[in-house]
Structure 1
Amino acid sequence: MALEADASLYQSTYQPGASAPTAFTHATILDGAGDQIDDATVLLAEGKVVAVGTNVAIPPGTKVVDARGRWVTPGIIDVHSHLGVYASPLVKSLSDGNEISDPNTAEVWAEHSVWPQDPAFSRARAGGVTTLQILPGSTNLFAGRSVVLRNVRSVTVQGMKFPGAGQGLKMACGENPKTVYGDMRRAPSSRMGSMAGYRAAWIRASDYRQRWDAYEKAKAANPAASPPPRDLELESMAAALRGDIRVHIHCYRADEIAQMFDLAKEFDYQIATIEHAVEGYKLGDLFRRNGACASMWADMWGYKMEMQDGIPENVAMVASKGNCAIVHSDSDDRIQQLNQDAAKAMFAGRRMGMEISKATAWSWISGNPARALGIDDQTGTLAPGKRADVVLWSGDPFSVYTRADLVLVDGTVTYDRRDPSIDQGSDFDLGHPSARKAS
């Protein structure tokens, strides 16, 4: 479409690295789709999962890794990350996650801020993270477009972009936009001002979409027809109205989440995720009726007023209603231990009497995030034909004593706990005095 012609200028140049046929045998497998298979094998070849099960034939020439006593899972997918846009060390010159110049900056793209040398990417690899969505921050009503990345070393962000993964449109409700722009004496300064701002913007975007749709029809009859003027802000929003990019909304309180669902109905778009959803446990049935995923912390609570009703059982209670529940990080620290955050959410649910299997809890950080990002046909679960995004854990991945032994992206080993030469971090790490001293 002419409306989205700009996207063709920023294509992924990611190429999988070298890989060898590999079989992990005698492993405990969590497949990311809700199943656990004991004493089983995962066979990988040509960057894909070939077979998973207890009776897998291993072809000659395959590297066999005895995973007895260890666990194998799909790679972790973090749907809410700011790595690269709020890069480490977080000094002002590396703080590029929010364009606060206006309440609506739908025109900006997070990928145009990502710094591939952020050392937090390598820390996340060591935690088993193979894919992550980088979002703009949450100051604006409309903060801009997200990008989905492969967690691999690269000089450019194009070399990290997940091929074919769609962008997202980040929105935010609640305290963030009303306090930032209210303090700056610019609308919105209240929640009702925020709601009016969303509606006015969607009206403009709907009109913009109609003008471009009319142009496309006219062009079919007359190739010389003149297109309407492009508007980058409205272009992003029109793409969301078409369903070409997914909508992700930062929202905490139950009453505001319900307003976001009504807003989506008014302008006929689908919400992919409610991000944070601190009071999601109050709205399990509403999430199910609206088909949105709830992307949540395991246990963040109380650091501002709209988080006062946060509870550790939130993830489990949302999931208990048959919803797409996700555990995310929103942190360069927590992304290193998302397996442990999933464990905390699982055990919080168990303490209140829910029967939650480890296989189900793993889907909160692999299968469900892949679904939310629209890449579940490629990754997130261990199934034949999918990308070989795999983690070999030293033990039960829900234990605080367990570490990732091997991390593979498209079958390529990107982290090996016993071989530091596999992942030497970023160029920033290599140039740091502490790294030179260690070498």
Structure 2
Amino acid sequence: MNNTHKRLSIIMLCCCAFWLTACSEDKAAKTEQAAKVSIDKNPFPSRYTPLAGEPTLITNVTILDGIGNKIDKGMVYFADGKIVEIGETLSVPDGVLTIDGQGKWVTPGIIDVHSHLGVYPNPSTHSHSDGNEIVKPVTANVWAEHSVWPQDPGFGRALAGGVTSLQILPGSANLFGGRSVVLKNVPHRTMQEMKFPDAPYGLKMACGENPKRVYGKRGGPSTRMGNVAGYRQAWSDAQDYMRKWDQYEADYEAGKNPKAPKRDLNLETLAGVLDGDIRVHMHCYRADEMAVMMDVMKEFNYQIYSFQHAVEAYKISDILAENNVCSAMWADWWGFKMEAYDGIRENVPMVHNTGACAIVHSDSDLGIQRLNQEAAKAWADGRRAGIDIPQQDAWIWLSANPAKSLGIFDKTGSLESGKNADLVMWTANPFSTYARAEKVYIDGGLAYDLNDPQSWPVADFELGQVGEGDSK
């Protein structure tokens, strides 16, 4: 072999050695790929345990099933925490606890979609004011559940008013106020023990006067157009954040061993909305602003599930129906600020009459105790205006529609076979001022009994505050 051939052989051997080394190093790099970074979407899981109950049959009652049906002289049978059957005549096993409800009414439990219990609890002091994180217009990173004080006496008082579930929202100072949480109204030691299992998170947003008032002298936004620019920029930032994570996922699957983007808790919540995991509930009074927000919704391809307060919903109820957006409303609050000036007492029935989703809410630790009366006022105002809505349809405002907006209608909000046994037996027609919740069941467990004061829930904070003889 001449020298030329020897040199070629050496070169080829070197190239092979280099190639083998490179392949070995590439294989080692793949073997040593860093563990994939993933984000826990449920870091604070529910630890709710249903109250103990027993198979129960309630007879001789007028039933409003929460989805538009009324049964006179009806029966309700529930067992193992679920509604088994309702009707006029039921066959049930022997030995079932039977309650004769002669002259009484049964409805689904009330669901309040707008409550601040626990985050603005009683006693109302600055030290308890934990609903608004007023540091910047976008605070989607905060979660209302981390401010919930379970000792708030308001939970027990709402229970006595027939409220079985409620959404706890942050306040409305910010464009994005933070995440909401849905609770079962079973007063407990911790928020996690009240947390409604598998209920979707919500995102509280606010438009109009509140963000303007809070941030107008803090660098903005100070106008409604500034508010809208703030929403749009935040959604745009969230889209960019999602692209970075999508690229990371793709690169990781391709074996490129990429570095994960830094977590941003603000953008993480907004990305959850854009992914469809988190539901937007937006404080918004004026019809024109609601229409603009539905345009923004379409621009960034997310869904608004409710406008909260919505005092001018009657002006655009057809547009709300077209866009599948619920309106959560008071019966008669109006005029306490400029954007509430056009509120009318017929708002709820007018929205309902157009085929849109109408909800009666409280936004009040007092109003939540009598939401049945708030719905009755709205129903009566509609009748006086010539909108004659049957009471069985009006109850939808307190149960089925709230459950739909919160994403829990498959579990509660109506008296249907297989759903949670969340129901109330009333002493009289619940649209009467004189009606009281006599028995309140949550998942089939008796959570409140009007005739057994010793069983009424008492917050730890209340114990020992008033001694015998100190009532004066």
TM over 0.5: yes
Corresponding residue for 1:96? 130
> Equivalent pairs: percent with the same residue?
57
Can you list the C-alpha shifts for 1:274-331, whole angstroms capped at 9, x where unaligned? 1111000000111011111111111100000000000000000011111111000000
Counterpart amino acid of 1:330?
D
Q: Secondary structure at the match of 2:398?
A: coil
The structure-2 alpha-carbon separation of the partners of 1:312 and 1:20, relative to structure 1 and needing over 3 Å to count, comes to: same
Q: Which deviates further from its counterpart, 423-432 or 402-411? A: 423-432
Alignment of 1:405 with 2:438, yes or no, is yes
Q: TM-score, normalised by structure 2?
A: 0.90
- The structural deviation recorded for 1:107 is 0.3
| Counterpart contact for 1:98–1:136, Cα < 8 Å | yes
Q: For the residues of structure 2 that align with 1:337 and 1:231, how far apart are their CA atoms?
A: 41
Is residue 298–residue 315 contact of structure 1 (8 Å, CA) maintained in 2?
yes
Equivalents in 1 of 2:428, 2:222: separation in Å?
A: 50
The C-alpha deviation readout for 1:98-118, integer Å capped at 9, x for no partner, is 000111100000000000000
Matched, 1:195 2:215: no
Q: Is residue 381 from structure 1 mapped to residue 414 from structure 2 by the alignment?
A: yes
Tell me whether 1:348 sits opposite 2:381 in the alignment. Answer: yes
Does 1:48 find its partner at 2:90? no
What does residue 360 of structure 1 align with?
Answer: 393
Q: Are 1:3 and 1:235, in contact at CA under 8 Å, matched by a contact in 2?
A: no
Question: Larger C-alpha radius of gyration, 1 or 2?
Answer: 2
Give the distance between the partners of 1:230 and 1:241, measured in 2 at CA.
16
Is the 2:187–2:457 Cα contact (8 Å) retained in structure 1?
no
AA aligned opposite 2:272: A
Q: 1:16 aligns with which of 12, 35, 50?
A: 50
Is contact 1:71-1:394 (8 Å) kept? yes
The 1:433/1:6 distance shift into structure 2, 3 A limit, reads farther
Task: Report what 1:221 is aligned to.
Answer: 254
Match of 1:110 in 2: 144
Q: 1:238 aligns with which of 271, 279, 294?
A: 271
Q: Distance in 2 between matches of 1:50 and 1:223?
A: 54
Please tell me whether the aligned partners of residues 251 and 257 of structure 2 are also in contact (alpha carbons under 8 angstroms): no
CA apart distance, 1:436: 9.8
**Does the 8 A contact of 2:331 with 2:374 survive in 1?**
yes
Query: How much has 1:59 moved relative to structure 2?
Result: 1.4
- Give the Cα–Cα distance (whole angstroms) in 2 for the partners of residues 301 and 78 of structure 1: 20
- Does 2:176 match 1:149? no
Letter of the structure 1 residue corresponding to residue 357 of structure 2: C
Distance of 1:73 and 1:81 partners within structure 2: 21
Letter in structure 1 aligned against 2:200: G
Q: Structure 2: where are the runs of 5+ without partners?
A: 1-35
AA partner of residue 64 (structure 2): L
Query: Structure 1 residue 423: deviation in Å?
Result: 2.1
Query: 1:126 matched to which residue of 2?
Result: 160
Tell me the amino acid that sits aligned with residue 72 of structure 2. D
SS of alignment partner, residue 39 of structure 2: helix
- Equivalent in the alignment of 1:294: 327
| TM-score normalized by the length of structure 1 | 0.97
The question of whether the paired residues in 1 share the 8 Å contact of 2:111 and 2:165 is answered with: yes
The answer as to 2:333 corresponding to 1:316 is no
Tell me if the contact between 2:359 and 2:397 (Cα under 8 Å) persists in the aligned partners: yes
Cα 1:435/1:6, change in 2 over 3 Å: farther
Cα 1:430–1:224 change in 2 (3 A) is farther
Residue of structure 2 in register with 1:422 after alignment:
455
Structure 1 residues 414 and 436, CA gap change in structure 2 (3 angstroms):
farther
Q: Secondary structure at the match of 1:7?
A: coil
Unaligned stretches of 5+ residues in structure 1: none
* Range that drifts further, 208-217 or 165-174: 208-217
- After TM superposition, where is structure 1 displaced by more than 4 Å over at least 4 residues in a row? 434-438
1:331 maps to 2:364 = yes
Shift of the 230–149 alpha-carbon distance from structure 1 to 2, 3 Å rule, reads: same
